[in-house]
Amino acid sequence: MPAGTDIMMPLWRGVVLFRAITAAFAIAAITVHHHGFARPALGWAVLAGIAVWTVVTCLAYSYDRTRRTLTIVIDLLVTLALMSSSALVLSTEQLTEVAQRTPLLTTVWASGPVVAVAVHAGGAAGAMFGVAVAVVDVWVRGFFSVDLARDMILLVGTGFVLGLAATAARRASEQLRRASRAEAAATERERLARSVHDSVVQVLARVRARSGQLDGEAGELARLAGEQEMALRYLFSTATPGATGEQDLASAVRLLAGPRVEVSAPATAVPLPAADVDELVAVVREALANTARHGGPEAKSWVLVEDLDDEVVLSVRDDGPGLDSDQLVGAVHDGRMGVSRSIRGRVADLGATLTLDTGPGRGTEWEVRLARVRHGVAR
C-alpha cells in the first residue's frame, strides 16, 4: 500500500488508541468480575495475554507497514482464542446470564481486529471480521439473544462503515496526488513552452519566413525547419482533459495546423465531452488526409471551429480540384469514398449531421454539426 500511506496514518493511530483503551476496559472488567470465575488463575493468565497482545499489535500497527495483512489475520486468531477462553474461565451463570452484564473476558477489546481490517482493507473485510467475532461470541455463550444480536449488528456495522470511510479517504488522497502531479506537469510544460518560444521557435519562424527567397537545398532545408517550428509550437499547446471529463475542441483541433493547414477557432475554450472531441479530431484528420492524397501538392486546407452554444460547428475546406457528380461515383473505385464512408460513419456515431459541398474547381467542404448536451440531458 505505497499510495495513500500518509493519509492513513491518523487512522492507524486511532486503531492503536482504540486497542489500548479497550484493553484497559477489558482488564478492569476481569478485575471486577474475577470473584465469580470458575478458573480465576486462568482468568489472570488471559488478562496478561490481553495486555501483552495489545502491546504487540500496537507496536506492529504503528511501525510495521510491510506485513500488515498477516499481522491482522494473526491478530484476529489470537483475539478469538482469548475470547474463546471465556468458556473455561467464566462460571456457567456468568456465561448464560447476559442480562446481568457479565461480559466475556475480552469484552469490547475483541473488536480491535475488526477496526484494524476495516482501515486496512475496506468495508467488506470489516463486515466479515465483524461476523467472525460475533459468531465466536454466540458460540462461546452457547445461545442467541437480543443482546448478542445487538452486539453483532454493532460489530458488523462498525467494520463496514469504518471500512467505507477508509476506502473513501484513500481514494481522495490518490486523486489529490494525481491532481497535484498533473498540475506540476502543466507548470513545467508552461515553463518549457516559454523557453522554447523565446528561443527555438523565433529562429525557426524566421527561417521559415525567408524560405520563399531561397532556392534548391537551402529552400528545402528552410521549409523543413518551418515544419518543425509549427510542430514545436503546437506540441506545447496540447490540451489535457479537465476534471469534468470535458476537453477543449479548439485547442485539440489547433494541433492539426501545419504548413498547408490553417485552423481558426475562438480564443475561449469550446468544451465538449472528451470522447466527442477525439471523434471530431479523427474526422478532421481524415478529411485533411483526403485532401493531402487527392487535392494535389499545392492544395491548402482550412479548419473552422464555431461554438453556437446549442451546437458546435466544424468546417473543413480545401482548395483542391473538387469533385463533380461523375467523379463522386468514380471516387468509389479510387478510394476517396472510403474516406467519405469512414467520415460519415464517425459522424453518425456521434449523432451529428454532415454536409458535403463540392464541385469541379470549387474545392471540397465538409461541415459537421454536433448538438450540445447540456447539464446531463441525454442526447
Partner 1 sequence: MTDCRGDARAVIRVMVVDDHPMWRDGVARDLGERGDLGERGFEVVATAVDGAAALRIVAAARPDVVLMDLHFGAKGPSGAETTRCLIESDPDLRVLVLSASGADADVLAAIQAGASGYLMKSASLDELVDAVRRTAEGDAVFTAGLAGLLLGEYRRIARGPHDDVPHLTERETEVLRQVATGHTARQIANALVISHRTVENHVQSTLRKLQLHNRVELARYAIEHGLAQ
**Where do contacts with partner 1 occur on this chain (CB under 8 A)?**
197-198, 201-203, 205-206, 208-213, 226, 229-230, 233-234, 237, 254, 257, 262-268, 300-302, 304-309, 315, 317, 319, 365
Shortest distance, position 216 Cβ to partner 1, whole Å: 17
> Do residues 133 and 78 lie in contact, with contact meaning Cβ atoms separated by under 8 Å?
no
Q: Which residues contact 195 (CB under 8 A, 6 or more apart)?
A: none
CB nearer partner 1, residue 219 or residue 338: 219
Q: Which is nearer to partner 1, 78 or 305 (CB)?
A: 305
Q: Residues 156, 127: contact at Cβ < 8 Å?
A: yes
DSSP class of residue 211 equals G
CB within 8 Å of 43: residues ≥ 6 apart: 30, 34, 37, 89, 105
Residue 110 is placed in which grid cell? 475483541
CB nearer to partner 1: pick between 129 and 366: 366
Q: Which is nearer to partner 1, 177 or 210 (CB)?
A: 210
Sheet harboring 353-359: ordered strands across? 261-264, 301-307, 311-318, 363-371, 353-359
> In the complex, what is the shortest distance from the CB of residue 336 to partner 1, in angstroms, rounded to a whole number?
20
Residue from 287, 278, 232, 280 nearest 258 by CA: 232
- Minimum CB distance to partner 1 smaller for 188 or for 190: 190
Contact 95, 142 (CB under 8 A): yes
Which residue bears the cell 491532481? 179
The residue assigned the cell 496478561 is: 48
* 102 and 90 Cβ atoms separated by less than 8 Å: yes
Least distance in angstroms from the C-beta of 297 to partner 1: 17
Rounded least distance, CB 266 to partner 1, Å: 2
Q: Smallest distance, Å, CB 201 to partner 1?
A: 6
Beta carbon nearer to partner 1, 203 or 332: 203
CB of 254 to partner 1, least distance (A): 6
